[in-house]
């Protein structure tokens, strides 16, 4: 396993539409392992492959729960070629952040419930209902696979301000 570099806004790769994973190979399994290590190190709860410069339709996620002793129980999950196949008309609002837009958080309104179809690392196809944080996170990460960022849901004023801030920071780093 290896920690990979997370690409940061305004990197144009974040706007790429990721291609489907054709089959689960040892390379895909290694990518998943690296993504988990990268995500935990960041730290984050979800990571799309494109965020580590791999334009593949794959997501890692861990919405760990704390047990009665306050210990975190990891729940790592991999979603290959995930897609939302239905969503509720009811919406919910969560404060979202993104490892590719560090230290920036805003409230985003999304469908409260979604049904997702995906393949796991064993090559098995699943359909699952998601709500709450799971629904928000899976929609956020699937957006990444389609070149969409959570800031795209903000007002033009807020979005432009964030893009300017990160573009300016990238220029300073490059100098």
Mean pLDDT by 10 residues, the chain (175 residues): 94 97 97 97 96 98 72 84 98 97 96 98 97 96 98 95 92 81
The pLDDT value recorded for residue 127 is 98
Q: How far is CA 107 from CA 93, 115, 163, in A?
A: 6, 22, 17
Q: Is the dihedral of CA 61, 15, 131, 128 positive or negative?
A: negative
The pLDDT value recorded for residue 172 is 85
Catalytic annotation present for 71: no
The pLDDT value recorded for residue 67 is 55
Choosing from 89, 107, 128, 141, the catalytic residue is 141
- For 99-133, the pLDDT digits (tens) are 999 999 999 999 999 999 999 999 999 999 999 99
Of 95, 98, 99, 102, the residue nearest 166 (C-alpha): 102
CATH number of 12-174: 3.90.45.10
Give the pTM.
0.93
The pLDDT value recorded for residue 64 is 83
Q: How far is CA 33 from CA 23, 99, 129, 134, 170, in A?
A: 16, 17, 25, 21, 28
CA pair distance 19, 17, nearest whole angstrom = 7
């Amino acid at each position: 396993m290896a920690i990979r570099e997370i690409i940061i806004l305004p990197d144009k790769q974040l706007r790429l539409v990721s291609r489907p994973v054709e089959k689960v190979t040892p390379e895909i399994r290694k990518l998943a392992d690296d993504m988990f290590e990268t995500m935990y190190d960041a730290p984050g709860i979800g990571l799309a492959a494109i965020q580590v410069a791999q334009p593949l339709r794959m997501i890692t996620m861990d919405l760990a729960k704390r047990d009665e002793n306050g210990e975190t129980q990891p729940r790592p999950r991999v979603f290959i070629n995930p897609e939302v196949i239905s969503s509720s008309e009811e919406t919910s609002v969560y404060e979202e952040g993104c490892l590719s837009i560090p230290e920036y958080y805003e409230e985003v309104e999304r469908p409260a419930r979604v049904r997702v179809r995906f393949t796991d690392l064993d090559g098995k196809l699943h359909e699952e209902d998601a709500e709450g944080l799971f629904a928000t996170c899976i929609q956020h990460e699937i957006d990444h696979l389609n070149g969409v960022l959570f800031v795209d849901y903000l007002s033009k004023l807020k979005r432009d301000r964030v893009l300017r801030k990160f573009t300016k920071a990238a220029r300073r780093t490059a100098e």
